[in-house]
Structure 1
């Protein structure tokens, strides 16, 4: 039986050198490093980021929280629900609008966040360990440039507080 002609595909090495592949792989590694450091606290990067924003902006509503973290509505809802179920975040009716929920850390949330700060710092040190200080600064600069240059292509808006 004759094999139909198949299109030629490029070798894998160019694919492995593409920014999208490398960014996705770096994100996988970043998440694994963070979660290994914060395993005892059961925190993910998304939860830690959420708690950090709420520590700096108590009473924030879910929409502004989502934008401050560049999360979509489903992701922010899932993260908040998980933190709320653990008693780390409290939801209350907003003083500005009865239709919005104001979010804030509970006392237990503050305790967990304080414990997580040094662990997150250690994760950051491990993640940037292969780079020297100048390379780390350049990596961050380039990622910021990439993110700002392509912000209009993102699925979720980013509006820092």
Structure 2
């Protein structure tokens, strides 16, 4: 078996290919793929605590903190202290952030359609199950 035939290399190749395509797409809007993911998580769970946001994104807190600072400067998100724990920050999309996210979702639909069309529903579910098993095994 060559290194090209290993699970880690194939996961890396698929992820980096998808990431490059999406990165080029979102660059037009001045947003990175990771920032889009952050905005998408907030669109589903607005007002979550910053640490929960990091967990949902599977990203480290420092990276998320840096992204939040940048997006805050662009008026895409806002943070406010939690009522329960003043040290914790709740994160929200601003009105302009919500508009931008909707635009990004519309403009990324082709990427999502291409990914969905690449696998039959059964193969898709098998892939998702396999990825979940890998995640659990490595945690």
**TM-score (normalised: structure 1):** 0.75
Q: 1:22 aligns with which of 4, 10, 30?
A: 10
Q: Does 1:145 align with 2:129?
A: yes
Aligned to 1:81: 69
Aligned to 1:7: none
Pairwise CA RMSD:
2.0
Paired with 1:118 and 1:111, the residues of 2 have a C-alpha distance of 11
Which is helix-richer, 1 or 2? 2
Where do 1:102-121 residues align within 5 Å?
102-121=90-109
> What are structure 1's unaligned runs of at least 5 residues?
1-12, 155-161
Q: More relative contact order in 1 or in 2 (CA 8 Å, sep 6+)? A: 1
Q: Verify the 8 A CA contact 1:33 1:126 in the aligned structure 2.
A: no
> What are structure 2's unaligned runs of at least 5 residues?
none
Paired with 2:122 and 2:113, the residues of 1 have a C-alpha distance of 13
Aligned-pair CA distance for 1:37: 2.1
Q: Verify the 8 A CA contact 2:49 2:88 in the aligned structure 1.
A: yes
Q: 2:25 aligns with which of 21, 29, 37?
A: 37
Paired with 1:83 and 1:66, the residues of 2 have a C-alpha distance of 15
Paired with 1:113 and 1:24, the residues of 2 have a C-alpha distance of 27
Aligned to 2:47: 59
Q: Does 1:93 align with 2:81?
A: yes
**TM-score (normalised: structure 2):** 0.86
Aligned-pair CA distance for 1:116: 0.2
Size of the aligned set, in residue pairs, is 138
